[in-house]
């Protein structure tokens, strides 16, 4: 359906701000040309000609942004979850990622990933692919067709990984990357390229310097990993003795915020200096609580980042995280923040469900612009959630039902439909 001016009726909930949910029972949510016009209890006269879809007692929520997910790792999610990061990369990740040089395999695997992402609560995602340009393009074709809005990165790595996955030289990696940029930049409506050095240990200084040049030349955003694991941080110190912190090893090459819109996954063990660099450069932190737990990485001090005004969103980090659910991601963010408060640092209080909801919607959404809210002027990304299968003897408020859905979505919850920028991408039309 091309026309994207309409009204959704139901129980509407979104983040007014980080600490507060706006809840309207039996309200009207107006979309005009893909943009939200706001939520109304009484429908204003000027919108009365628009078609209304009545969703009865269902919950209407903003779409969610997965700020960090690895598409090729979807095939082995839930496996090797008893290993730590560097061992897990060697055992599971690198061998699997090498399979994407075969397009037949990529076709099958990326088809499954895209189908499942489309059915999930995610409306926008920032995605890692592999080093393979052709397979990355194939993934972008599939994501484009899904209607979801995505940034997708062809990965760069020219050192410290198995031969079968190492690009032969910085020059070869840069040349393949520039070819891939030429083939994909501006070619899609929903999907755009993002520069993706895997992380400092697998990228030589020459490669990072060349990626910095490509960034300036094409004005592309950047994604990578930062301070996830203590052994990894020690390794970066050895590889880049000139750097003052891990983040500085990206910043030196113009790949750390400022002019470059940048998202860094994890930031579990960032030093004070690194946190200040993240803040000053406007770098986004993609908090991936399930992955950080599965790979024994630690717990990122998200409360500190929020207090400092750092931009934070949530990521599933499949397959460090085992599933694509952003609801599960929110619940995990709250849970690990409580453990951190209890076990490590009682000065940083735990996250609330309201805050986790904000991070999954507005927090990560802002990487894409005005996204993640139903306030007037935001792009219209919406989910219709049916929680009638989650049975309860009590009568609950809409706010209780939303908070409960965060925890119980996977039990008996059901997404009925989904809109991205005003276009319905899932559910009965
Ligand atoms: Zn990752």
How far, in Å, is the centroid of ligand 1 from the Cα of 5? 37
Say if CB 225 and CB 247 are below 8 A apart. Answer: no
Beta pairing partners, 195: 222
Residues 186-197 pLDDT 10s? 999 999 999 999
**Res 242: pLDDT:** 97
How far, in Å, is the centroid of ligand 1 from the Cα of 315? 9
3-state helix, strand, coil in the chain (%, to 5): 40, 25, 35
Tell me the pLDDT band of 3, cut-offs 50, 70 and 90. Answer: low
How far, in Å, is the centroid of ligand 1 from the Cα of 73? 10
How far, in Å, is the centroid of ligand 1 from the Cα of 294? 12
Once rounded to an integer, what is the mean pLDDT over residues 214-229? 98
**Res 395: pLDDT:** 94
Angle at 266 between CA 261 and CA 269, to 5 degrees: 115
Tell me the pLDDT band of 413, cut-offs 50, 70 and 90. Answer: confident
Of the chain, the percentage scoring pLDDT greater than 90 comes to 95
Residues 259-278 pLDDT 10s? 999 999 999 999 999 999 99
**Res 160: pLDDT:** 94
CA distance 303 to 310: 10
Residues around ion ligand 1, judged by CB within 5 A, are: 265, 317
Residues 127-141 pLDDT 10s? 999 999 999 999 999
How far, in Å, is the centroid of ligand 1 from the Cα of 296? 14
Tell me the pLDDT band of 429, cut-offs 50, 70 and 90. Answer: confident
Task: Give the dihedral sign, CA 197/203/207/209.
Answer: positive
pLDDT for 30 beyond 60: yes
Tell me the pLDDT band of 54, cut-offs 50, 70 and 90. Answer: very high
Say if CB 229 and CB 268 are below 8 A apart. Answer: yes
pLDDT for 1 beyond 50: no
pLDDT for 319 beyond 70: yes
**Res 410: pLDDT:** 87
How far, in Å, is the centroid of ligand 1 from the Cα of 419? 27
Residues 147-176 pLDDT 10s? 999 999 999 999 999 899 999 999 999 999
How far, in Å, is the centroid of ligand 1 from the Cα of 100? 17
Provide the token pair at 155: 């990965």
How far, in Å, is the centroid of ligand 1 from the Cα of 321? 9
75 three-class SS: helix
Rg of the chain taking only CA atoms, in angstroms: 21
How far, in Å, is the centroid of ligand 1 from the Cα of 175? 24
Of the chain, the percentage scoring pLDDT greater than 70 comes to 99
**Res 285: pLDDT:** 98
Residues 89-136 pLDDT 10s? 999 999 999 999 999 999 999 999 999 999 999 999 999 999 999 999
How far, in Å, is the centroid of ligand 1 from the Cα of 4? 34
**Res 125: pLDDT:** 98
How far, in Å, is the centroid of ligand 1 from the Cα of 224? 8
């Amino acid at each position: 359906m091309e026309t994207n001016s309409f009204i959704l009726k139901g129980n509407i909930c979104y983040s007014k701000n980080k600490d507060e949910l706006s809840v309207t029972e039996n309200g009207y949510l107006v979309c005009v040309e893909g943009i939200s016009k706001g939520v109304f209890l009484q429908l204003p006269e000027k919108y009365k000609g628009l078609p209304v879809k009545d969703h009865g007692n269902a919950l209407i929520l903003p779409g969610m942004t997965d700020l960090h997910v690895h598409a090729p790792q979807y095939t082995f999610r839930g496996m090797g979850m008893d290993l730590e990061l560097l061992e897990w990369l060697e055992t599971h990740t690198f061998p699997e990622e090498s399979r994407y040089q075969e397009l037949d395999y990529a076709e099958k695997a990326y088809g499954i990933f895209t189908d499942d992402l489309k059915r999930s609560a995610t409306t926008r995602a920032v995605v890692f692919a592999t080093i393979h340009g052709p397979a990355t393009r194939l993934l972008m074709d599939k994501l484009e067709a899904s209607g979801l809005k995505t940034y997708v990165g062809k990965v760069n790595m020219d050192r410290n990984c198995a031969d079968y996955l190492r690009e032969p030289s910085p020059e070869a990696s840069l040349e393949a990357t520039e070819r891939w940029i030429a083939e994909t930049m501006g070619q899609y409506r929903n999907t755009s390229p993002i520069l993706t050095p895997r992380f400092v240990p697998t990228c030589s200084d020459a490669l990072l310097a060349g990626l910095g040049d490509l960034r300036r030349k094409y004005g592309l955003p950047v994604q990578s990993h930062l301070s996830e694991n203590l052994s990894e941080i020690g390794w970066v110190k050895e590889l880049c003795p000139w750097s003052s912190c891990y983040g500085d090893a990206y910043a030196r090459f113009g790949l750390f915020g400022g002019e470059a819109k940048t998202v860094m996954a994890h930031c579990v063990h960032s030093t004070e200096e690194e946190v200040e660099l993240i803040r000053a450069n406007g770098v986004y932190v993609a908090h991936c609580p399930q992955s950080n737990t599965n790979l024994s990485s630690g717990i990122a001090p998200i409360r500190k980042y929020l207090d400092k005004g750092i931009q934070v969103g949530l990521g599933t980090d499949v397959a460090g995280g085992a599933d694509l659910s952003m609801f599960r991601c929110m619940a995990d963010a709250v849970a690990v923040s409580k453990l951190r408060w209890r076990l490590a640092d009682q000065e940083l209080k735990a996250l609330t469900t309201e805050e986790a909801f904000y991070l999954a919607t507005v927090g990560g959404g802002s990487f894409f612009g005005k996204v993640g809210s139903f306030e007037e002027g935001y792009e219209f990304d919406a989910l219709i959630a049916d929680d009638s299968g989650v049975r309860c003897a009590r009568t609950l408020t809409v706010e209780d039902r939303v908070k409960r859905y965060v925890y119980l979505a996977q039990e008996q919850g059901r997404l009925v439909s989904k809109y991205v920028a005003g276009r319905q991408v899932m559910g009965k039309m």
